[in-house]
């Protein structure tokens, strides 16, 4: 049985009409639905547990400087209060001690509190949060007497002993830096007695401030010097494909190398490379943190990493409508985090590999056309992975 001509014409018309509709709809959908770009195809940085301490954070000096009258009595003997702690300093001296038996004990606190957001308009300044600010300000600043590392006391501690000023212990518990000084009135004091007295007072204060774990201060063994690592050519460390994905064909040709990155203080071995096009800005900075005083480079690099981790974690978005990205990243170096906050923190991945600290930032070149947080982080992570591989190859 064959169709009539009218029926054939009807069918042809319907097919033509349906084809036109399909074509128009396809064009419309292509127009409306964005094509997945290179950045969409890159993997998101994975998320892991956060192992960097978030406290304790003290807002006021502890009453009585967190030391018991009994301990003061035992260390000083008939103590008379010289300073009552109202301004963060307690001090006692022996009331009737002579030159031989007189003792002096002082405990001073320095709290790093919220500095106020406008104190840091430059988003990459470190020490913005109370904890990281305390870490930055921590450290012995004497040049003429050797400083010894101390274990089992607060988050970190050092000791200095000298015949003239007795024993001085500097420790940090969260955002509180504490300096304990224990000395004789006038005559020099035996080193062991001065050290043990200062340790006793510092342990009680650290516990009173909420330090994690029991306080059992002891002098740490001296750090062993480690062979210095070299930094590979960062501008050659990223593959062409990654550069094409991140900065496009314009920037894939070559990056711009720099020897000063601002990543850590001057004196560290460091290299940087940046790729900047009309649309994107990718920057990589690597520093080998040298050992200093009683601490080796790995320990100090871990401090530098923690400062940046704490800062990024504490940073608040400019608006409640903004989405903040921050999470630790497992499997990248010894420790790593990824962060992005609109208008404040570009797509950033920071990681530490031994004594090497790495920072990768990825963002738009034109602030008027911001890159989404997800894309910025994927881009930074892709570059960070390749930098990590280049570092491993250089180290092996």
Partner 1 sequence: MSDSGPPGPAPRWWTGRGRQAAAGTIALVLAVSVAVAVAASRDRAPEGISDGPLLTAPAGADRVPAGRVVTKLPRNCGVSAATAARLAPGADRDAEKGNVFRQGGPGSCMWYSLDDGKAKCGFCVGDFRNERVLYVDITLSTGRLQAPITEAMQALTPAEPNRAANPDPPALVEGLGEEATARYSAEIETEGAVVDFRVGNAVVSVRYKGWDDVRGRRRTIPEKTALDGALAAAAETAKSMGTTARPVLSAVKNPVTPPLRTIPKPCDTVADPTVDKVARGAYRRRGSATLLTMAAPAGMSVDACTWNARTSRYSGEGRTRTLTVSLAVAGERLPGLGAFNATRQFLGVYQNQRAGKSPGADAFTGFTPLTGPGERAFAVTKVQRSASDGDVGIVIFQKRNVLVEVAYRGADEDVPLTGKRLVDSAYTVAVAVERSLR
114 near partner 1 (CB under 8 A): yes
Question: Among the candidate windows 52-60, 219-227, 250-258, 379-387, which touches partner 1 by CB under 8 A?
Answer: 52-60
Q: Which one of residues 72, 76, 107, 111 is an interface residue with partner 1 (CB under 8 A)?
A: 111
100 near partner 1 (CB under 8 A): no
Question: Among the candidate windows 105-113, 209-217, 219-227, 290-298, which touches partner 1 by CB under 8 A?
Answer: 105-113
- The least CB distance from residue 292 to partner 1, in Å, is 26
Question: Among the candidate windows 82-90, 98-106, 217-225, 348-356, which touches partner 1 by CB under 8 A?
Answer: 82-90
Tell me the DSSP string of 292-347: BTTB-HHHHHHHHHHHHHHHHHHPPPSSTTSPPEEEE-TTSSSEEEEEEETTTEEE
- The least CB distance from residue 99 to partner 1, in Å, is 19
Query: Residue 91: enclosing H or E segment and its boundaries?
Result: strand 89-94
Q: Is 131 left (phi over 0), alpha (psi -120 to 50) or beta?
A: alpha
- Report how far residue 388's alpha carbon sits from residue 237's, in angstroms, rounded to the nearest whole number: 9
Q: What angle do CA 216, 67, 54 make, to 5 degrees?
A: 60
Contact of 329 with 309, CB cutoff 8 Å = no
Residue appearing with tokens 């300000």: 137
Question: Among the candidate windows 21-29, 325-333, 349-357, 382-390, which touches partner 1 by CB under 8 A?
Answer: 21-29
11 near partner 1 (CB under 8 A): yes
- Residue 129's nearest CA partner among 345, 283, 374, 390 is 345
- The size of the interface with partner 1 (CB under 8 A), counted in residues, is 57
- Residue 275's nearest CA partner among 239, 321, 324 is 239
Residue 275's SS3 state is strand
Q: Which one of residues 2, 36, 49, 60 is an interface residue with partner 1 (CB under 8 A)?
A: 60
Contact of 273 with 234, CB cutoff 8 Å = yes
81 near partner 1 (CB under 8 A): yes
Cis peptide before 56 (omega within 30 of 0): yes
- The least CB distance from residue 171 to partner 1, in Å, is 17
87 near partner 1 (CB under 8 A): yes
Residue whose CB is less far from partner 1, 32 or 259: 32
Site mask, partner 1, residues 269-308, x = CB under 8 A? Answer: ---------x------------------------------
Q: Which residues contact 213 (CB under 8 A, 6 or more apart)?
A: 152
- Report how far residue 342's alpha carbon sits from residue 349's, in angstroms, rounded to the nearest whole number: 15
31 near partner 1 (CB under 8 A): yes
Contact of 286 with 356, CB cutoff 8 Å = yes
Question: Among the candidate windows 13-21, 48-56, 243-251, 280-288, which touches partner 1 by CB under 8 A?
Answer: 13-21
Residue whose CB is less far from partner 1, 62 or 154: 62
- The least CB distance from residue 252 to partner 1, in Å, is 21
On the 0-12 / 13-18 / 19+ scale of CB atoms within 10 A, 350 is buried
45 near partner 1 (CB under 8 A): no
Q: Which one of residues 3, 10, 44, 240 is an interface residue with partner 1 (CB under 8 A)?
A: 10
- Which of positions 339-378 make contact with partner 1 (CB under 8 A)? 342-344, 365-368, 370
Q: Which one of residues 146, 226, 253, 318 is an interface residue with partner 1 (CB under 8 A)?
A: 318
Residue whose CB is less far from partner 1, 181 or 242: 181
Question: Among the candidate windows 138-146, 157-165, 212-220, 336-344, which touches partner 1 by CB under 8 A?
Answer: 336-344
- Report how far residue 122's alpha carbon sits from residue 143's, in angstroms, rounded to the nearest whole number: 31
- Residue 219 CB coordination number (10 Å): 15
Residue whose CB is less far from partner 1, 13 or 221: 13
- Report how far residue 81's alpha carbon sits from residue 95's, in angstroms, rounded to the nearest whole number: 9
Query: Contact residues for partner 1 (CB under 8 A)?
Result: 6-7, 9-11, 13-14, 17-18, 21, 24-25, 28-29, 31-32, 58-63, 80-88, 109-111, 113-114, 116-121, 123, 278, 316, 318-321, 342-344, 365-368, 370
């Amino acid at each position: 049985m064959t169709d009539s001509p009218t029926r054939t014409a009807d069918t042809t018309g319907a097919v033509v009409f349906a084809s036109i509709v399909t074509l128009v709809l396809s064009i419309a959908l292509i127009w409306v639905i964005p094509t997945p770009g290179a950045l969409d195809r890159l993997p998101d940085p994975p998320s892991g547990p956060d192992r960097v301490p978030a406290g304790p954070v003290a807002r006021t000096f502890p009453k009585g400087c967190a030391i018991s009258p009994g301990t003061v009595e035992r260390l000083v003997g008939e103590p008379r209060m010289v300073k009552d702690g109202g301004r963060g300093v307690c001090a006692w001296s022996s009331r009737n001690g002579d030159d031989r038996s007189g003792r002096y004990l002082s405990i001073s606190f320095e709290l790093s509190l919220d500095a106020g957001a406008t104190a840091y308009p430059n988003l990459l300044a470190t020490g913005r949060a109370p904890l990281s600010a305390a870490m930055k300000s921590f450290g012995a600043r004497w040049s003429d007497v050797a400083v010894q590392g101390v274990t089992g006391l607060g988050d970190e501690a050092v000791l200095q002993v000298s015949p003239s000023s007795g024993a001085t212990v500097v420790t940090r518990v969260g955002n509180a830096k504490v300096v304990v000084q224990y000395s004789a009135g006038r005559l020099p004091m035996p080193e062991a007695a001065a050290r043990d007295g200062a340790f006793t007072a510092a342990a009680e204060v650290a516990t009173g401030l909420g330090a994690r774990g029991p306080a059992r201060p002891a002098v740490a063994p001296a750090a062993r010097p480690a062979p210095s690592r070299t930094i590979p050519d960062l501008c050659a460390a990223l593959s062409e494909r990654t550069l094409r994905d991140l900065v496009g064909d314009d920037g894939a040709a070559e990056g711009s190398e720099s020897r000063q990155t601002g990543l850590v203080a001057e004196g560290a071995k460091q290299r940087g490379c940046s790729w900047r096009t009309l649309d994107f800005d990718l920057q990589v900075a690597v520093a080998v943190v040298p050992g200093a005083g009683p601490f080796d480079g790995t320990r100090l690099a871990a401090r530098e990493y923690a400062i940046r981790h704490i800062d990024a974690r504490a940073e608040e978005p400019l608006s409640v409508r903004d989405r903040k990205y921050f999470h630790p990243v497992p499997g990248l170096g010894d420790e790593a985090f990824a962060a992005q906050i609109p208008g404040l923190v570009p797509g950033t991945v920071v990681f530490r590999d031994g004594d090497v600290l790495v920072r990768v930032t990825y963002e738009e070149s034109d602030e008027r056309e911001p890159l989404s947080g997800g894309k910025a982080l994927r881009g930074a992570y892709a570059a960070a992975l390749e930098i990590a591989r280049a570092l491993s190859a250089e180290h092996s």
